[in-house]
A and B are shown apart, each in its own frame.
Chain A
Amino acid sequence: MQLAVSATQTSTGEAFQFWVLGTVAVIGALCTVLMKKAVHSALCLAGTMIILAVFYLANGAYFLGIVQVVVYTGAIMMLFLFVVMLVGVTAADSLKETIKGQRVWAAVCGIGFGVLLVAGIANANLKHFDGLKQANAGGNVEGLAALIFTKYVFAFEITGALLITSAIGAMVLTHRERTERAKTQRELSEQRVSDGKHLPPLPAPGVYARHNAVDIAGLLPDGTPSELTVNQTLRGRGQIRDVSSEALSDLKALEQRSTERLGREEEAAK
């Protein structure tokens, strides 16, 4: 880690690190926004955050850098992944815009905002950097601790209250009180009959020995694939492999090969 945090001009190493990792961070951010699947977005975001952690370290915020990795990329992003798993794949993943004019206005506002922000920063007189040499003299963690437990002690306490509140809030939000008696198996089966649902166990996926896989729909007697045989999640993601055409083309190739061979054998027999 470079420790040159006091200079107005950074060291070349830090500059090099900034340009390389900064580019990656921007790409990661863009990917977060543009990736179709939420999991990919989450992974890209995690990458960006790790890069930011590096930048924190580079800027003398050692404690924050570590916390960023542990809390953000470690805890929060895991939480995201859990929820992505819970929610599964939905139509909301589509990048197709449904609100008229939304993209245009978002672009206008975004570019305008960014330009203004950059202009503001450029306009501000930010030539002089004091650096953290003095502040971090007694150690970064100790310095932070001194501030937190003296100057910011009330804010710190209130943050504790906030965390507890949010934890309880999350529990309340996700908790579902059972307001009616749980249905017995008999009632469930009767309801299934009365609702006209599929009664026997769903058919198993996979046909033939060649394709004994969960993402391949079983074939009905007339040769068409039945989506019922495939797992609901795979169906939602559209990850069903259609095996029938493949199988048919395979069969055709097999037949051709056999006729060729048989023909040859016939010729040889003559």
Chain B
Amino acid sequence: MENLIALLIAAPLLGAAVLLCGGRRLDAVGHWLGTLLAAVSFGLGVALFADMLGRSADNRAVHKHLFSWVPVEGFQADVGFQLDQLSMTFVLLITGVGTLIHIYSIGYMEHDENRRRFFGYLNLFLAAMLLLVLADNYLLLYVGWEGVGLASYLLIGFWQHKPSAATAAKKAFLVNRVGDMGLSIAIMVMFTTWGSFAFSTVFNQVGETGWGRNTTVGLMLLLAACGKSAQVPLQSWLGDAMEGPTPVSALIHAATMVTAGVYLITRSGAIFNQVQDVQTVVVIVGAVTLLFGAIVGCAKDDIKKALAGSTMSQIGYMILATGLGPIGYAFAIMHLVTHGFFKAGLFLGAGSVMHGMNDEVDMRKYGGLRKYMPVTFVTFGLGYLAIIGFPGLSGFWSKDKIIEAAFAKGGTEGWILGAVTLLGAAITAYYMTRVMLMTFFGEKRWNEEETHPHESPGTMTIPMIVLAFGSVLAGGLFSINESFVKWLEPVTSFSHGDSPVSAGVVTASTIVVLLIGVGLAWAQYGRKPVPVVAPRGSLLTRAARRDLLQDDFNHVVLVRGGEHLTRSLVYVDHTLVDGVVNGTAAGFGGLSGRLRKLQNGFARSYAVSMFGGAAVLIAATLLMRAV
């Protein structure tokens, strides 16, 4: 059975190869082929899942050594796969949601003449992400990691004829490179410390290693996770990544890419558990990003960017949960999966709205769309209810657990984190309600002559419906008898924290803040008509519209700083280094110029020199005799 693992990756990889190398003759069938291969991968995943369920909890992890990649003495790099419960969860999420997004893209990209290439990239994205989660060592994981970066670059910049898309792709790639540097440094430190890249070897030895090495590795892994998962301070690329086609956003935000960081931290839990300080940093990063993304999400009028802020915020929840250690890993992954459902649903819904609104993204030009797009409205609405944590829906179960775990951290930290997560939940409710109200309720704010809102075709609605089911049911199913936590326990281990607040109180307060958020949003956007032109807003609003000045910060601190550094280095180079070099050269040049005049080519001049030399020799001889 474990031989199928390689096929899991091979199927979309084959799709990418065929579609990208096949050329125009595959234009007619390319999208079907890509979707089919994604579905094949999903089918294989399901088969492996069934197989895994058939074994007892301790025997579920499967290893498959494929071949030796770099068989060098003292440097063994293998291509091997590890399919345990954590990987399995990701495989199902990636291939399942991925396949749905493939199906959706068939309709969404119908009029794009490069649809075949698009599906090739999608398949490449899936293959890279699968490689990332299936690898049994860090080096192979790094290959998948870079593959994800490449695929995201290609997809974000898919409409590269738009300068903004090309820039956004470049930005995503560059910011990701910072994170990639972290991962590569972490891998190098691992190799010098433990002599291996394999998860098993590394995790077995990590307990015996000193604080410094572990901290370095942990911080570098966190940097990597920040890059891929768009966490502060490497978050700036996510908003711009909306320049890609909407299915790409759905794929990046729900199934691939941003989940990679959460996967990395969870997978490396053995390392993080060793160093409390790094875990604290992880928690801080998560908490900051949680609020950061939520605030940005509140101010954006672009529906996709609002959702992007939301993603950032939700991933912040997950990172925060991973930072809590064994009490949080399982909930982080659980939230990741439920988030995968509802966020994919939301993005596909947003894409569906745009599809019907002539690619308009400004929510202030929507309004009252529920009558025109009933299916989209219902599925989007279910996703909305799930994300704000409406009791009974997916988001409620997973987010509630994270808030509980935050309180369970204990001490002052626990209270702070609990408060932050609760605040985040309130803001989430606020901005999602805002999106919902501005899009589907209220007055029509679009031009009826130019825009004819209509429901999307079946290829687009069916995935949305399927995802809506997931958004509604997944959380509940996972929480029955703590089945998800138990499922993951062999990999991530699990411990109930000592919560100072009882679960019931947490749930109740969650619902209260949820109601407050929704109520505020309704008061602002439901009761009153939404202005088509955005009001100037408060200082915070204006800052949030500019992504809380993240780009300005990067520009001032990094770009300007870099420029100044470069300029001063150039100055030093030109004056000091070149000065010494050129001065020496000029000195010798001038000396040579003078000496050259001695070489005038006249034999008689040389004769004088000879004669003078002879005189000097005689003088020397006489002197020697005298002495």
- Per the CB under 8 Å rule, do A and B touch in the complex? yes
Which residues on A are within 8 Å of B, measured CB to CB? 99, 102, 105-106, 108-110, 112-113, 116-117, 119-120, 123
**Is B608 part of the contact surface with A, judged by Cβ < 8 Å?**
yes
Min C-beta distance of B174 to chain A, whole Å: 66
- Can you name 11 A-B residue pairings with CB atoms under 8 Å? A99-B600, A102-B608, A108-B612, A113-B611, A113-B614, A113-B615, A116-B615, A116-B618, A116-B619, A116-B622, A120-B621
> Of all chain A residues, which has the CB nearest B602?
A99
Q: Which residues of B sit under 8 angstroms from A99, Cβ to Cβ?
A: 600, 602, 604-605
Contact of A105 among B612, B614, B621, B625 (CB under 8 A): B612
> Of all chain A residues, which has the CB nearest B613?
A109
Instruction: Given A119-B622, A123-B622, answer yes or no on A102-B615 (Cβ-Cβ < 8 Å).
Output: no
Which residues on B are within 8 Å of A, measured CB to CB? 600, 602, 604-605, 608, 611-612, 614-615, 618-619, 621-622, 625-626
Q: Which residues of B sit under 8 angstroms from A117, Cβ to Cβ?
A: 618
Min C-beta distance of A33 to chain B, whole Å: 13
- CB distance A106 to B622 under 8 Å? no
Contact of A113 among B604, B618, B625, B626 (CB under 8 A): B618
Once the chains are docked, how many angstroms separate the CA of A123 from the CA of B627? Answer: 13
Q: Which residues of B sit under 8 angstroms from A113, Cβ to Cβ?
A: 611, 614-615, 618
**8 more A-B residue pairs beyond the given contacts A108-B612, A116-B615, with a C-beta to C-beta distance below 8 A:** A99-B604, A102-B604, A102-B605, A112-B612, A113-B615, A116-B618, A119-B622, A123-B625
Q: Which residues of B sit under 8 angstroms from A106, Cβ to Cβ?
A: 608, 611
Once the chains are docked, how many angstroms separate the CA of A16 from the CA of B496? Answer: 136
Contact of B608 among A109, A116, A123 (CB under 8 A): A109
> Of all chain A residues, which has the CB nearest B617?
A116
> Of all chain B residues, which has the CB nearest A100?
B600
Once the chains are docked, how many angstroms separate the CA of A42 from the CA of B446? Answer: 119
Once the chains are docked, how many angstroms separate the CA of A108 from the CA of B615? Answer: 10
Once the chains are docked, how many angstroms separate the CA of A109 from the CA of B604? Answer: 13
Min C-beta distance of A108 to chain B, whole Å: 8
Min C-beta distance of A260 to chain B, whole Å: 61
Q: Which residues of A sit under 8 angstroms from B625, Cβ to Cβ?
A: 123
Most buried by A among B600, B604, B608, B622: B608
Q: Which residues of A sit under 8 angstroms from B600, Cβ to Cβ?
A: 99
Most buried by B among A116, A119, A120: A116
> Of all chain A residues, which has the CB nearest B615?
A113
Once the chains are docked, how many angstroms separate the CA of A189 from the CA of B431? Answer: 111
Q: Which residues of A sit under 8 angstroms from B612, Cβ to Cβ?
A: 105, 108-109, 112
Q: Which residues of A sit under 8 angstroms from B605, Cβ to Cβ?
A: 99, 102
- CB distance A120 to B615 under 8 Å? no
Min C-beta distance of B322 to chain A, whole Å: 88
Min C-beta distance of A58 to chain B, whole Å: 27
Contact of B622 among A108, A110, A112, A120 (CB under 8 A): A120
- CB distance B615 to A109 under 8 Å? yes
Min C-beta distance of A145 to chain B, whole Å: 35
Q: Which residues of A sit under 8 angstroms from B622, Cβ to Cβ?
A: 116, 119-120, 123
Q: Which residues of A sit under 8 angstroms from B604, Cβ to Cβ?
A: 99, 102
Once the chains are docked, how many angstroms separate the CA of A146 from the CA of B290? Answer: 120
Once the chains are docked, how many angstroms separate the CA of A221 from the CA of B482? Answer: 137
Min C-beta distance of A156 to chain B, whole Å: 29
Once the chains are docked, how many angstroms separate the CA of A105 from the CA of B605? Answer: 9
Once the chains are docked, how many angstroms separate the CA of A24 from the CA of B520? Answer: 132
> Of all chain B residues, which has the CB nearest A114?
B615
> Of all chain A residues, which has the CB nearest B607?
A106
Once the chains are docked, how many angstroms separate the CA of A119 from the CA of B611? Answer: 17
Min C-beta distance of B38 to chain A, whole Å: 87
Min C-beta distance of B608 to chain A, whole Å: 5
Q: Which residues of B sit under 8 angstroms from A119, Cβ to Cβ?
A: 622
Q: Which residues of B sit under 8 angstroms from A105, Cβ to Cβ?
A: 608, 612
Once the chains are docked, how many angstroms separate the CA of A109 from the CA of B613? Answer: 9
> Of all chain A residues, which has the CB nearest B610?
A109
Q: Which residues of A sit under 8 angstroms from B626, Cβ to Cβ?
A: 123
Min C-beta distance of A123 to chain B, whole Å: 7
Most buried by B among A109, A112, A123: A109
Min C-beta distance of A120 to chain B, whole Å: 6
Once the chains are docked, how many angstroms separate the CA of A109 from the CA of B615? Answer: 7
> Of all chain A residues, which has the CB nearest B626?
A123
> Of all chain B residues, which has the CB nearest A108?
B612
Min C-beta distance of B620 to chain A, whole Å: 10
Min C-beta distance of A163 to chain B, whole Å: 26
Min C-beta distance of A136 to chain B, whole Å: 32
Min C-beta distance of A74 to chain B, whole Å: 29
Once the chains are docked, how many angstroms separate the CA of A74 from the CA of B334? Answer: 124
Once the chains are docked, how many angstroms separate the CA of A108 from the CA of B621? Answer: 19
Once the chains are docked, how many angstroms separate the CA of A106 from the CA of B611? Answer: 8
Q: Which residues of B sit under 8 angstroms from A116, Cβ to Cβ?
A: 615, 618-619, 622
Shortest Cβ-Cβ A-B pairs, 4 listed: A113-B615, A116-B618, A109-B612, A109-B611
- CB distance A112 to B615 under 8 Å? yes
Q: Which residues of B sit under 8 angstroms from A112, Cβ to Cβ?
A: 612, 615
Q: Which residues of A sit under 8 angstroms from B618, Cβ to Cβ?
A: 113, 116-117, 120
Once the chains are docked, how many angstroms separate the CA of A120 from the CA of B615? Answer: 11
Once the chains are docked, how many angstroms separate the CA of A110 from the CA of B615? Answer: 9
Once the chains are docked, how many angstroms separate the CA of A113 from the CA of B608? Answer: 11
Q: Which residues of B sit under 8 angstroms from A102, Cβ to Cβ?
A: 602, 604-605, 608
Once the chains are docked, how many angstroms separate the CA of A99 from the CA of B621? Answer: 31
Min C-beta distance of B613 to chain A, whole Å: 9
Once the chains are docked, how many angstroms separate the CA of A109 from the CA of B600? Answer: 19
Once the chains are docked, how many angstroms separate the CA of A202 from the CA of B391? Answer: 131
Min C-beta distance of B604 to chain A, whole Å: 6
Min C-beta distance of A160 to chain B, whole Å: 30
Once the chains are docked, how many angstroms separate the CA of A197 from the CA of B109? Answer: 92
Q: Which residues of B sit under 8 angstroms from A123, Cβ to Cβ?
A: 622, 625-626
Once the chains are docked, how many angstroms separate the CA of A123 from the CA of B626? Answer: 9
> Of all chain B residues, which has the CB nearest A112?
B615
> Of all chain A residues, which has the CB nearest B608?
A105
Q: Which residues of A sit under 8 angstroms from B619, Cβ to Cβ?
A: 116
Once the chains are docked, how many angstroms separate the CA of A103 from the CA of B381? Answer: 109
Min C-beta distance of B350 to chain A, whole Å: 91
Once the chains are docked, how many angstroms separate the CA of A76 from the CA of B88? Answer: 113
Once the chains are docked, how many angstroms separate the CA of A119 from the CA of B625? Answer: 12
Q: Which residues of A sit under 8 angstroms from B608, Cβ to Cβ?
A: 102, 105-106, 109
Most buried by A among B600, B614, B615: B615
- CB distance A110 to B602 under 8 Å? no
Min C-beta distance of A212 to chain B, whole Å: 45
Q: Which residues of B sit under 8 angstroms from A108, Cβ to Cβ?
A: 612
Min C-beta distance of B587 to chain A, whole Å: 25
Min C-beta distance of A233 to chain B, whole Å: 27
Q: Which residues of A sit under 8 angstroms from B602, Cβ to Cβ?
A: 99, 102
Q: Which residues of A sit under 8 angstroms from B614, Cβ to Cβ?
A: 113
